[in-house]
Amino acid sequence: MGETARGVAVTRVRGGVRATGVDRAATEEPLEVRLHGRPFAVIMRTPGADCQLAAGFLLAERLVTSPDDIGTIEHCTDPAADHPENIVDVTLVGADLERLLADRRRIITSSSCGMCGRLTIESLRADGPRLPCNMVVTPRVVNALPAALRAAQAVFEETGGLHAAGLFTTGGRLEAIAEDVGRHNAVDKVVGRMLLSEALPLEQYLLFVSGRTSFEIVQKAFLAGIPIVASVSAPSSLAIELALDTGITLIGFVRGGSFNVYAYPERVTAESGE
């Protein structure tokens, strides 16, 4: 596995005084995802959990729906390949590869882009019924999410430059966490881990992310069956629309003991005694 952070030269200016030193920067490198040995996507990411990232990405791209669809997923074993540590090869079970790729193009996904492989916006629209409203969470649990996620961010502590995604139980226990230069990648890593563990759908969990909540993050949550998505920042208008369409409770601005609920507030219950 590659380094998640690297030493870099830095000039610090404090009170008009300059001083040179060494800092730690979050690593960003390309990960090439191959399908049956054929290049499919290049994802700019922080090294680590690469197979989980690839699995979560393929779920979001709807090339797989369960771990049974994946035959093998592993780093490149070709000794002649350049940087095999940055290549993951996936084989799909019983797949008509040409048909699966018909409405997609080979893509480069930046660390800020979550679903760049689709040819049309309409193809991003969610498939399937709305998620059922069979779980609830209390304000106390929601308000505790930022601190719980932050405490588990080991690489952020070192660099200050990574997003994170955490999968929590309704009681506030952190089940899985991933860090990456891209918040979409962090979500894919968390979802991919659970996919490969045969734990989908994630109907009894909530997803908490650093940064804003985009359409793509809500889409990834829906495909994984996650009914509650929360973040420290604002959701986009399209994220709110998709949450309303898919039955996802969308929570934003979780900070300082308060938050806003933009869709399906009935999943956020009053504390006992209130």
Q: Is 133 a catalytic residue?
A: no
How is residue 96 written in tokens?
């008509």
Q: Which residues make Cβ contacts (< 8 Å) with residue 167, sequence separation at least 6?
A: 174, 175, 176, 177, 190, 194, 202, 205, 206, 207, 226
Identity of residue 169: T
Instruction: Report the alpha-carbon distance of residue 194 to residue 75 in Å, rounded.
Output: 19
- Residue in 76, 113, 116, 133 annotated catalytic: 113
Instruction: Report the alpha-carbon distance of residue 39 to residue 242 in Å, rounded.
Output: 31
Tokens 């997923």 label which residue? 73
Q: What are phi and psi of 183, to 5 degrees?
A: -65, -30
Closest to 166 measured CA to CA, from 154, 152, 182: 152
How is residue 85 written in tokens?
């540590």
CA angle 243-143-230, nearest 5°? 20
Identity of residue 132: P
Residue 183 buriedness (CB in 10 A; 0-12 / 13-18 / 19+): buried
Closest to 40 measured CA to CA, from 95, 121, 122: 95
At 101, is the secondary structure helix, strand, or coil? Answer: coil
Q: What are phi and psi of 76, to 5 degrees?
A: -55, 135
Residue 136 buriedness (CB in 10 A; 0-12 / 13-18 / 19+): middle
Tokens 């894919």 label which residue? 188
Instruction: Give the active site residues.
Output: 113
